[in-house]
A and B are shown apart, each in its own frame.
Chain A
């Protein structure tokens, strides 16, 4: 017990049956307005797209490296270090505070789950793979392998084994994402500093271990759940690293972007610049910008959703992750509402407990599997209907599943944003008192420990933002689905027919999202 006084101030909320503090869901009038908007906009957008859109392979872009000071900064060897090192220190603080700090009043869960985890999706929306650029785990691995914090390493410390062929996909990352969600929600680690520290250590081990065993950053490319989720979401983001002129790359003999040289390290995810068509596997490390002898690498600003309209090939593992992300984010939202866990058998877990006579964790696992599989199965069913309805025999339900999964991504991304905006803007302020007392020792380093803090945004603003985001994701999904329909079907009529079942799936997904934000929702950090 600490020999001091801790005071904590809270804002308006009420209590759920599960004991967590609850933020009220969007009011009825906004909920019904959202439903009306989704239904009306669906038909208007489809009508507009059918009348006058053309699909082109080019898109508008602006190379930020045309500004010489930006180019100079990015090429400076220690520029990335300036971002990574402070993040690394914060990461160390999370581990230290989680291990040594107070069991309740502690900065570790708030920094991890309320600020970072909730803010990550927002970062991806605007800055793509920016997290990978500043990633503290990558910094730790680099420090260990290169024995220096930045610059080119001639021979990094690694066994240099090739990543197993059977794992050259993102199923491992998908599996880790499912496991993390299960641990996060099933064991309620978001309010536990000790459990948060353990997870941070495990993530650090996952970064250091494979870096010492396998060549380059194979784990980043195939196994990192944060990298792969942000990689898929980053297809929507308005920033990319690409060749300025692909012909220059084709004539390049040295391929320094891939191999590295004295100015830049080899591409950590083994990408060859002219073959980079999507953001997914680029970790934005900017080594290719440093190493390219022809100054032929650009950091482009581009329209949102570009990769989703222009992706080169579909991949089964990516398509599955896109649908799992939709399912898991919706599931995540449901678990924070009263219908998930309240007293009696009216709740989801209550009904499962009564039905199977299982304990809390087993009931949670059954419900998690059930809800996620149900969402995936419904999407698969609609894909079969789409294939039949469109009437082109060589395009099967499985193929429809792969292609249209990319159009589901914005729906998942924007619901994820809507959900996280509640955590970020209604709970993010809890970091202010903890900055002065990160370990809960009764300290007051900056005089903010007892400062009354209010949410960053009012609840009405957050509600409006949530509905705006869900509707935006829905509209973006339709636009991308329309592009995909034209790629999938050469016949315009068949393309239009294929859109109808997918449009129903999207409407159902968006209505589900609206319904979830309409329900009262538990806060992430229950005490603070």
Chain B
């Protein structure tokens, strides 16, 4: 009797172990963490602790458009509670004056995240400035985001290449003349 009990207990324990470990594999790729091996919407995320606030900033490109959704989650590191007031967003490109930009106020959604979405005419590097007031103090934080592709002017490669090639050619011509 006891031998049968041990046998069944062993079988059940193996089955339980298998169930636990395979649970995530049943419907597709295994994904034990948010950023692991799992088909996600493309997103850039940055975590930062500044003063008494922890920020998680992310931006997502809406599929095949130049629309980007921006999201920031702000948590007080002392109380552990998320910020729930108003967060003002400003987005500006290189050379643009943020002081003359209109601030866009946002309220927290049910997940305590502040979201905005904009369409960008030009590709490039943009600065996202978020500002909020808490406990009688004002806080400002900036993040960078890349919209589309940031190109490179290949003249910076071609022109130096031409200069070096020309010099090399002159040296070879001189060498050949000396040989004659």
Known: A9-B47, A194-B150. A527 touches B144 (CB 8 A): yes
Q: Are B171 and A5 in contact (CB under 8 A)?
A: no
Q: What CA separation (Å) do A12 and B48 show in the bound complex?
A: 8
In the complex, residue of chain A having the shortest beta-carbon distance to the beta carbon of B159: A205
B143, CB-defined interface residue at 8 Å: yes
- The one of B50, B144, B174 that contacts A104, using a Cβ cutoff of 8 Å: B144
B49, CB-defined interface residue at 8 Å: yes
A6: which B residues are within 8 A, CB to CB? 43-45
Q: Are A209 and B167 in contact (CB under 8 A)?
A: yes
Known: A197-B152, A212-B168. A4 touches B42 (CB 8 A): yes
A10: which B residues are within 8 A, CB to CB? 46-49
- The one of B47, B51, B164 that contacts A8, using a Cβ cutoff of 8 Å: B47
Chain A, 428-443, contact with B by CB distance < 8 Å: what is the 0/1 string?
0000000000000000
Q: Are A158 and B171 in contact (CB under 8 A)?
A: yes
A483, CB-defined interface residue at 8 Å: no
Q: What bracket does the count of chain B residues touching chain A fall in?
A: 35 or more
B146: which A residues are within 8 A, CB to CB? 1, 102-104
- The one of B47, B50, B163 that contacts A205, using a Cβ cutoff of 8 Å: B163
Q: Are B171 and A2 in contact (CB under 8 A)?
A: no
A14: which B residues are within 8 A, CB to CB? 50-51
Q: Are B42 and A157 in contact (CB under 8 A)?
A: no
Q: What CA separation (Å) do A102 and B42 show in the bound complex?
A: 14
Q: Are A527 and B46 in contact (CB under 8 A)?
A: yes
Chain B, 148-180, contact with A by CB distance < 8 Å: what is the 0/1 string?
101010001100100110011011101100000
Chain A, 169-201, contact with B by CB distance < 8 Å: what is the 0/1 string?
000000000000000000000001010011001
Q: Are B163 and A209 in contact (CB under 8 A)?
A: yes
Known: A205-B160, A208-B164, A213-B167. A8 touches B150 (CB 8 A): no
Q: Are A103 and B125 in contact (CB under 8 A)?
A: yes
Q: How many residues of A contact B (CB 8 A)?
A: 44
In the complex, residue of chain A having the shortest beta-carbon distance to the beta carbon of B50: A14
A11: which B residues are within 8 A, CB to CB? 49
B34, CB-defined interface residue at 8 Å: yes
Chain B, 71-112, contact with A by CB distance < 8 Å: what is the 0/1 string?
000000000000000000000000000010000000000000
How many whole Å from B151's CB to the nearest CB in chain A? 8
Q: Are A1 and B148 in contact (CB under 8 A)?
A: yes
B70, CB-defined interface residue at 8 Å: no
B35, CB-defined interface residue at 8 Å: yes
Chain B, 26-63, contact with A by CB distance < 8 Å: what is the 0/1 string?
00000000110000101111111111000000000100
B133, CB-defined interface residue at 8 Å: no
B152: which A residues are within 8 A, CB to CB? 99-100, 194, 197
Q: Are A3 and B42 in contact (CB under 8 A)?
A: yes
B150: which A residues are within 8 A, CB to CB? 102-103, 194
Q: What CA separation (Å) do A10 and B46 show in the bound complex?
A: 8
Q: What CA separation (Å) do A102 and B163 show in the bound complex?
A: 28
B129, CB-defined interface residue at 8 Å: yes
Taking each of A6, A11, A343, A526, which has the highest tally of chain B beta carbons within 10 Å of its own beta carbon? A6
Listed A/B pairs (10) with beta-carbon separation below 8 Å: A5-B34, A5-B42, A5-B44, A7-B45, A9-B47, A15-B142, A21-B48, A144-B164, A157-B171, A213-B167
Given A1-B61, A6-B45, A99-B157, 7 other A-B contacts at CB below 8 A?
A9-B47, A11-B49, A15-B142, A99-B152, A204-B160, A212-B167, A343-B99
Please name the 4 residue pairs, one residue from A and one from B, whose CB atoms are nearest each other, closest first.
A103-B150, A212-B167, A19-B142, A10-B48
